[in-house]
A and B are shown apart, each in its own frame.
Chain A
């Protein structure tokens, strides 16, 4: 039940509820000698009831004034969904269009397209917990895993501000995985990386990321927003001299992700439509059964208290008119 009170000191008013014990609240009728009146169990019973009514009415009023309410409850439910961390690239190139130019009136920038589609995506995933992390030169913790979709939308909307520095993907991934620490393992755990470029990951970080991905059982989705004429994830180098992480970071990052040992899916989106397709896929695939908590908001019980008190007052008044004066 978890009942709570807004103003605890108001509860001292409950002492007033003891008053009917000292006074039956009825007019006294004169009688020459009380012993003459025979004992009447029914009368005693009725008087007791009336006193109880009065006590309950006073208690109801006091509890209503003290602001009795039921605190916010969480009900465990089983549904379909996932814990998703959106890892967004905030490097400056995200502010260019898919054609690699500064956006003009006709085409939108990669960041705008990503923002628009992610907003829709979040709207569709009602039971998920979603968190947001960003990275450029360094990782930014933005929003913890939360069921509050407004908060996630506010974080996505904030990416409309100009982008920052460079692409440092390994630190970003590390931060995204850290979101799952101290979270129950239920449903699927997803890191959704949205980026338009990659960077070589150094050996130490590779080692750590491998470990963390395994430890936290995280699935990775990479939506690569490919700019026209730039190397893609699935390209093979034409010249063997280019076959290294420095020249083709995207390919090597992809290879590293494939070798992680945890489920991984890459999407190469060259236009907003392809991006839409990738998001629709995730929406379809990631619906494992999951325990989640439904929030039942705080319930105000003072109205109920007042209603009960009013009903009892009505009863008392009704009884008042039944009193007989001899």
Chain B
């Protein structure tokens, strides 16, 4: 008996199938013991501050062969971007108008709160603006100060159209926050000046802003020009002279050089919004990313090995096929 058993054992061990099965089982053992690996992946924490001033209603983006407003395009692009962000990334949302911004909600994890963030972005409307000015430099400064303590990167999305234009004497001073703030300015709009749509109180478009509708210079404080150069200058009654200012402030285009200047002053990066891909690339700036340790599933590798081993056992035997074909051939009567 003993010898017979040994003989059987020997034969079993000589069979390559046994070894394949054993290897497969060992692979499965490894799979259950080390199902995941710690891996560092970049995650992001953004607070999007979206400019909702009137100039964002200008329609100079194309989508599906239709011209859409800057604000609509921004919303659409952000919603698409939301889908691409890795889990554990966070997104907060705020609005800018007048000379400061408000935060709608603090950064939320994108995978668990996708619907909420997506709905909130889709509901952004220019009519949410609580005041009508558009003082971007001051808005940026106050936003950066407001969010200084948060570890979220500020993504300030604007077209750079200051309304009224800034007086060079009264510029925002970014020196206090330079180097501390983390984030980016995203320029929106085309480089060609386009008119700004005008709406009535019911939200219907009633045409465009004309030259007479908008201020073409700031009349706050003192003029930056030499008083002797200003026509009709009077220090108390007419510090900006007697002539009405004219200009093209009723038209709007992306003020790229201005935004680049602001980004340099505030220590933020700058990028222009053209499409989703470019925005995605710009935002995946390694400076804005934080490495987070995430458990990644590595069960596939041992499972693949087990699968290969198992397939090897059941691979069709080639000689059987050969014999089969040989018989088929022999059945054909030879002439």
Whether A78 is near chain B, meaning CB under 8 Å from some CB there, is no
B314 near A90: Cβ-Cβ < 8 Å: no
What's the minimum C-beta distance from B148 to chain A, rounded to whole angstroms? 12
Chain A residues with CB under 8 A of B105 = 132, 142-143, 151, 154-155, 157-158
Whether B285 is near chain A, meaning CB under 8 Å from some CB there, is no
B299 near A164: Cβ-Cβ < 8 Å: no
B314 near A19: Cβ-Cβ < 8 Å: yes
Pairs across A and B, CB under 8 Å, 26 listed: A26-B17, A27-B15, A61-B303, A61-B310, A65-B304, A134-B104, A138-B129, A143-B120, A146-B115, A148-B112, A148-B113, A154-B113, A155-B104, A157-B105, A158-B105, A158-B106, A161-B94, A161-B103, A306-B32, A309-B303, A310-B32, A313-B306, A317-B21, A321-B18, A323-B15, A325-B11
Residues of B270-306 contacting chain A, CB below 8 A: 299-300, 303-304, 306
- What is the total number of residues of chain A having a CB less than 8 Å from a CB of chain B? 55
Chain B residues with CB under 8 A of A166 = 130
A313 near B310: Cβ-Cβ < 8 Å: yes
Chain B residues with CB under 8 A of A188 = none
What's the minimum C-beta distance from B19 to chain A, rounded to whole angstroms? 10
B112 near A313: Cβ-Cβ < 8 Å: no
Whether A37 is near chain B, meaning CB under 8 Å from some CB there, is no
- What is the total number of residues of chain B having a CB less than 8 Å from a CB of chain A? 57
Total cross-chain contacts (CB, 8 A): 160
* Known A54-B310, A320-B12; contact A142-B104, beta-carbon cutoff 8 A: yes
* Known A23-B317, A25-B17; contact A13-B307, beta-carbon cutoff 8 A: yes
A325 near B8: Cβ-Cβ < 8 Å: yes
A137 near B131: Cβ-Cβ < 8 Å: yes
Q: Give me the interface of A with B, judged by CB distance under 8 Å.
A: 13, 16, 19-20, 22-23, 25-27, 54, 57-58, 61-62, 64-65, 90, 132, 134, 136-144, 146, 148, 150-151, 154-155, 157-158, 161-162, 164-166, 302-303, 306, 309-310, 313-314, 316-317, 320-321, 323-325
Q: Compute how far the CA of A319 lies from the CA of B315 in the bound complex, rounded to whole angstroms.
A: 19
Chain A residues with CB under 8 A of B315 = 19, 23
* Known A64-B299, A151-B113; contact A138-B25, beta-carbon cutoff 8 A: no
Q: Compute how far the CA of A310 lies from the CA of B11 in the bound complex, rounded to whole angstroms.
A: 24
Whether B100 is near chain A, meaning CB under 8 Å from some CB there, is yes
B112 near A320: Cβ-Cβ < 8 Å: no
Chain A residues with CB under 8 A of B12 = 320-321, 323, 325
A19 closest partner in B (C-beta): B314
Q: Compute how far the CA of A309 lies from the CA of B25 in the bound complex, rounded to whole angstroms.
A: 9
What's the minimum C-beta distance from B268 to chain A, rounded to whole angstroms? 19
- Which interface residue of A13, A140, A165, A303 has the most chain B CB atoms within 10 A? A140
Chain A residues with CB under 8 A of B225 = none
Whether B107 is near chain A, meaning CB under 8 Å from some CB there, is yes
Chain A residues with CB under 8 A of B113 = 148, 150-151, 154
What's the minimum C-beta distance from B100 to chain A, rounded to whole angstroms? 7
- Which interface residue of A61, A148, A166, A302 has the most chain B CB atoms within 10 A? A61
Residues of B120-167 contacting chain A, CB below 8 A: 120, 123-125, 127-131, 146
What's the minimum C-beta distance from A87 to chain B, rounded to whole angstroms? 14
CB within 8 A of B112: which of A62, A150, A302? A150
Residues of B84-130 contacting chain A, CB below 8 A: 92, 94-95, 100, 102-109, 112-113, 115-117, 119-120, 123-125, 127-130
Whether B203 is near chain A, meaning CB under 8 Å from some CB there, is no
Whether B177 is near chain A, meaning CB under 8 Å from some CB there, is no
Chain B residues with CB under 8 A of A321 = 9, 12, 18
A310 near B25: Cβ-Cβ < 8 Å: yes
A141 near B106: Cβ-Cβ < 8 Å: no
A154 near B131: Cβ-Cβ < 8 Å: no
Q: Compute how far the CA of A144 lies from the CA of B105 in the bound complex, rounded to whole angstroms.
A: 12
B317 closest partner in A (C-beta): A23
A320 near B116: Cβ-Cβ < 8 Å: no
Q: Compute how far the CA of A110 lies from the CA of B315 in the bound complex, rounded to whole angstroms.
A: 76
Chain A residues with CB under 8 A of B104 = 134, 140, 142-143, 155, 158
Q: Compute how far the CA of A22 lies from the CA of B314 in the bound complex, rounded to whole angstroms.
A: 8
A162 near B146: Cβ-Cβ < 8 Å: yes
In the A-B complex, the 6 residue pairs with the smallest Cβ-Cβ separation, listed nearest first, are: A19-B314, A141-B123, A325-B11, A158-B103, A137-B130, A155-B105
A138 near B127: Cβ-Cβ < 8 Å: yes
Chain B residues with CB under 8 A of A148 = 112-113, 116
What's the minimum C-beta distance from A175 to chain B, rounded to whole angstroms? 9
Q: Compute how far the CA of A309 lies from the CA of B306 in the bound complex, rounded to whole angstroms.
A: 10
Chain B residues with CB under 8 A of A139 = 128
